[in-house]
Chains A and B, each alone.
Chain A
Amino acid sequence: MNKRIVKLAAVAFVATSLAFAGCGSRTESTSGSSGSTKVAKIGVIAPLSGDLSALGLGIRNSVDLAIRQANESNAIPGWTLELAAEDDQATPDVGKNAATKLASDDAVVGVVGTLNSSVAQSVIPVLQPAQIVQVSPANTSPTLTRGSDLSNPKRAYDNYFRTCTTDDVQGPVAAQYLLDAGIKKVATIHDKKSYGQGLAEAFAAAFKAGGGTVVAGETINPDDKDFNAVITKVKSAGPEVVYYGGEYPQAGPLSKQMKAAGLNVPLMGGDGIYDPTFIELAGSAANGDLATSVGAPVETLESAKSFVEAYSNAGFSDPMGAYGAQSYDAANAIIDALKVSLKDATDAKSARAATITAMADVSFDGATGKVAFDEWGDTVTRVITVYKVTDGKWGTEKTLTAE
């Protein structure tokens, strides 16, 4: 009996954990429809709750801003745009449910999202049969546009586009930056998710190709809090920089524990750690840490200034996050395509396929630079900026263009 209770207990523990993956809140959608105009909706699928909500809320607000501006300027005569935001909790299953919900809404003509490449992998297959165009501001896994075999690329989904550059650009730029700075020995750590692993592998390959040595390659579990065992292992290999593939909820504590354990070398990561929350979590240990992020720094770009100003005037309670400008551009790219596809359409649903076709011709100057897509659906703007933490703030280090 005793043992049976313990066994039951173990089963029950697992059951709770499963139950947790499914719960959460669902809210949202701002509106402002009026009179006799027809309504078309632009969806957002992003983590609006949980660890990554700082990024997700920035995405939602930026899309909201683009929609409000389009309505104000009456960008598409006869149509009012609305926002339909869904929470994916950074989880593929929840994202799939959100996509199904949006796809069944006849008014939805386009979706901005997702944040995570792993979530995109389950969202795109739902939106594609419904012919809903999807533009991601943040998915950096190369396979989403060019298929799983990168040496023999094949467009995976015709409805999928993105306004950010990919891991195979971001990783090598980081490697080049470190090699230029005279770094010869690095260790890599990633979180085993498709974003983290892809980034760390792309980085390691480019670093080796450039003449450097990868002295250790380790992984962590995203659920872990204690990284001391892996830090000790990495420390004994004596790297000059630790490159982390993953996101800030783990990167912040990792940086903190690295320095506490006496591994006083910078931690470098991709756009997933380029967020103020990273510094908040790592504390003073973050000083000297590096991150790459897609696009030129929003503050310095002439084209971004009006966006930054409009965002701060719009009265959102959350900051725009790392992907605000990309999300704003993604929404505007969809709106641009809708100008063509909705012009003669009788209802939103019948305009879906035409919107996808129209995306190929989208070209304008957005908040991140020129917004246009190549034959794979990737952005033509391939600019990466290296950022560094100094005195508890992210500062611009260097802007590089990948060939």
Chain B
Amino acid sequence: MEFFFQQLINGLSLGALYALIAVGYTVVYGIVQLINFAHGEIFMVGAFGAFATWVLLGSPTTWSLAAALFVLLPAMILGGVVVSVAVALLTERLAYRPLRTAPRLAPLISAIGVSVFLQEFIRLFFGYIPGMPDSKRAIPFPSVEGISGASFQIGQVTVQMPAVFTIVALVVCTLFLWFYVNRTKTGRAMIATSQDPDTARLMGINVDRVIMAAFAVGAALAAVAGVAHGLRYGNIDFRMGFLSGLKAFTAAVLGGIGNINGAVVGGLVLGVVESLATSFIPGQFGSTAWKDVWAFALLILVLVFRPQGLLGAKVVDRA
């Protein structure tokens, strides 16, 4: 039984990471109907931003527990968020906004271009920033006292602190997002724009600003996910956004693209299915090699029987 709970916790923490990224796909899709392929790279850039912040702080390794948790970690998250949001807004301004009235496929291809550009940019040029290591291979992510490598036991079940961090981050971010969307002026403007951008504009809503807000919110959450990724796996590299982005996109579709709650649920479901499939499907079909097969089989089943995703799309589909 503890085996089941162990895999459940593994799955939930993995799913929380997917969910944090998936929110970015869904928020942007809800408003501009664009699958932002570069979002996986925004996540990657966030992790590098957090790493750079750590280097700028003088590469501290011996800070006390309190200093690490209450100064270093928030500073790294903030640094990652700033970099991610800046890059996301820049790509929105340069790569998507000029194409807003173009046919649907144009911004999609543009997004793929941005994705390739960001990966190659980090691969080739990150090392030239003074003080930064060569990024052609994986870079060890700084360890934060009290989180990296730390764990505690509940019975036979080992709970790792980075997993706790990821899940707490997801809960905090989801609450923040709910408050932001439902209780602030910009949030309500986002809902209005997603329902009908033309009418929203007639009502005096600055649609450009709403779209920028959507990109910024998604990027901020992706940066938090980037830090969580670094703390969990201890390494970051320029390609980390690709597979995580693909999984997060899957999670967003699974939950119902355009729906924020759906992205969270989809992420958690995907993570848990991957983990449990490794252990609880008998025979060779249950090995790690097959976990992605089960995850994507689930996606196909959901799309066949419930094309709008698990939680359906709350936004009106104008397409």
A interface list, Cβ under 8 A from B: 1-3, 5-6, 8-9, 12-13, 15-17, 19-20, 23, 49-51, 53-54, 192, 218-221, 223-226, 228-230, 232-233, 236, 249, 252-253, 256-257, 259-262, 277, 280-285
Contacts and interface: CB of A to CB of B under 8 A. Distances in A.
A253 B138 CA distance: 10
A91 B108 CA distance: 29
A290 B14 CA distance: 29
Nearest to B257: A6
B306 interface: no
B124 to A, nearest CB: 8
Nearest to B115: A16
B contact patch SS = helix
Interface string B106-120: 001100100110011
Instruction: In the A-B complex, list the 3 residue pairs whose CB atoms are closest, starting with the nearest.
Output: A1-B319, A229-B278, A228-B10
A8 B103 CA distance: 14
Nearest to A17: B242
B105 interface: yes
A236 B4 CA distance: 11
- The size bracket of the interface on B is 35 or more
Given A221-B292, A229-B288, A253-B234, A2 B160 contact: no
B35 A236 contact: no
A218 B287 contact: yes
Given A225-B244, A232-B7, A249-B137, 4 more contacts: A16-B115, A229-B279, A261-B151, A283-B143
A281 B140 contact: yes
Interface of B: 3, 6-7, 10-11, 13-14, 33, 35, 37, 104-105, 108-109, 112, 115-116, 119-120, 136-138, 140, 143, 149, 151, 153, 158, 160, 162, 229, 232-235, 237, 240, 242-244, 246, 249, 253, 257, 274-275, 278-279, 287-289, 291-292, 307, 313, 317, 319
25 contacts: A2-B33, A2-B319, A5-B33, A5-B108, A5-B319, A12-B112, A13-B37, A15-B112, A16-B112, A19-B116, A20-B242, A50-B137, A51-B237, A53-B137, A221-B289, A228-B275, A229-B10, A229-B288, A232-B6, A232-B279, A236-B3, A252-B138, A257-B233, A282-B234, A284-B149
Nearest to B33: A5
Given A1-B319, A226-B232, A281 B249 contact: no
A229 B289 contact: no
A8 B249 CA distance: 13
B278 A277 contact: no
B137 A253 contact: no
Contacts of A221: 288-289, 292
Contacts of A219: 287-289
Contacts, number: 130
B154 to A, nearest CB: 12
A16 B291 CA distance: 23
Contacts of A260: 149, 151, 160, 162
Contact of B288 (A23, A230, A256): A230
A contact patch SS = helix
Contacts of B105: 8
Given A16-B115, A221-B288, A256-B234, A5 B109 contact: no
Of B37, B153, B158, B317, the most chain A CB neighbours within 10 A belong to B158
Nearest to B244: A225
A232 to B, nearest CB: 5
A13 B274 CA distance: 21
A28 to B, nearest CB: 15
B149 to A, nearest CB: 5
Given A8-B108, A229-B279, A232-B10, A261 B234 contact: no
B137 A54 contact: yes
B289 A192 contact: yes
